[in-house]
Amino acid sequence: MKLTDFKALTFDCYGTLIDWETGILSGLRLLVEKADITPTRDQILEIFAQNESAQEVETPAMPYSQLLSMVYKRIARTWGVAATNEEANSFGTSIPDWPEFSDSVGALQYLKKHYKLVILSNVDRISFRASNTRLQVAFDAVYTAQDIESYKPSPRNFEYMLRRLREDFALEKTDVLHTAQSLFHDHVPANRFGLASAWIDRRHAETGWGATQRPPGTPTYDFRFDSMAALVEAHQKELLG
């Protein structure tokens, strides 16, 4: 199997193209300062992951910016900290401030010349619009949790994506390489659907699972890269033969 075998790359956005862990930590700074504890970076991300996943299961049709506000309040309750609606809503609307990874723009601009580029993200349309501006590329399609009314790793999201790719672009499953950081949200369901995948292991220098839950079982993947830049380099080497 080679990267050049595929016609489309489908991307998770947050954690893969956008540095959501930096954004999450920045958005939770006030809450951490209020807490009567001194959690580590990984502990903050872990409690976020637990509460985000639980909230997504409870309210699958809730737009992500609103869901983040609920997550903020859940974390505040866990830490025994008072949180105002204004503070929670500020966290919910912080997605446009989350930075892109330094290699995302250049990698996407290169890959656009060779593939259809598609987003499958646990986000709402308005929030993604701001992130898309940061990424500086015109995606061929954007499928969000808001469109599907469920959150990954639900199979509904992948069913929706594969159906739309078939209907809109005549792309079959074998034409698609799902490209993502999260083993929990993306590679586990990709395995379930028999979808080829590339793991962008942004946390290769870190321990733990960061802002995602531990994946069940042992997910597999067809390619692994530390960064989007490394994926591009591998593609270029394939073209040179």
What residues act catalytically? Answer: 12
**Alpha-carbon span 143 to 3, nearest angstrom:** 23
| Residue 132 one-letter amino acid | N
Cα distance between residue 51 and residue 92, in whole Å: 14
Distance between CA atoms of 17 and 20, rounded to whole angstroms?
9
Query: Residue 108: helix, strand or coil by DSSP?
Result: helix
Q: Give the Cα separation of 201 and 210 in Å (integer).
A: 12
Buried b (16+ CB within 10 A) or exposed e, 112-130: eebbbbbbbbbbbeebbee
Spatial distance between the Cα atoms of 58 and 61, rounded to a whole number of angstroms = 9
Identity (one letter) of the amino acid at 165? L
Contact 12, 190 (CB under 8 A): no
